[in-house]
Amino acid sequence: MFPTPLYVILDRAAARGRELPALLEAVLAGGGRVVQLREKTMPMAELFPLARTLRERCRRAGALFIVNDRADLALALEADGLHVGQEDLPAAAARRILRPGMILGVSTHDEPQARRAREDGADYIAVGSIFPTGTKPGFQLVGLDLLRELRPRLGVPVVAIGGITEANAAQVMEAGADAAAVISAVCGTSDPREATARLLEVMQRPGRGPDGR
């Protein structure tokens, strides 16, 4: 499903004042090909043209473009997919309204949530928070053990999220993740292009997974 194991979430709050189109260019230059737009506060009148610009650039680069939370925006943009959390539109409802072929991702924090997401039609399941994260302070920590337990049971790709950095990305992949989602590890760095490239190098190292994936 994912052209690369690195899943970069573009978030203005973590972007250190950078404009998101410039940040996206750096991610693409570093080799990133899975991008999510996460924007909780911008008025739709401003968000739609921004998201359309990002979507068009991803399309030209052959990168997946996924919208966080906003099913209406994902549909209007003909985005590649939608990602929802436990407090967003229920996954089953989202699955019913998405166009055929659109990817549905769901954030989960325990095994019952992960199993329900799969039953509701998720194409991939995000599991976290794996490590402490400044993006969502106080968020429920699940650690690597849950990732190891869930990966062989779910039958769909698993994306690790929460506090993932260049220093611990290899641990996440060795625990069985199909991809790892990052925000601050790319958006919050002084050189997001280099950060993207270095994360990909760590995550794509031969033999990184328990079965050599």
Residue 176 contacts residue 210 (beta carbons within 8 Å): yes
205 has catalytic annotation: no
Q: Give alpha helix (H) positions in 107-182.
A: 111-119, 143-154, 169-174
95 has catalytic annotation: no
Count of beta carbons in the 10 Å neighbourhood of residue 76: 15
107 has catalytic annotation: yes
Residue with tokens 């769909």: 156
Active-site entry in 52, 57, 136, 198: 136
At 60 the three-state DSSP class reads helix
**In this structure, what token pair is assigned to residue 60?**
């030209």
Active-site entry in 38, 70, 118, 193: 38
Active-site entry in 107, 129, 184, 208: 107
**Phi-psi region for residue 138, left (φ > 0), alpha (ψ -120 to 50) or beta?**
left
Active-site residue numbers? Answer: 38, 107, 136
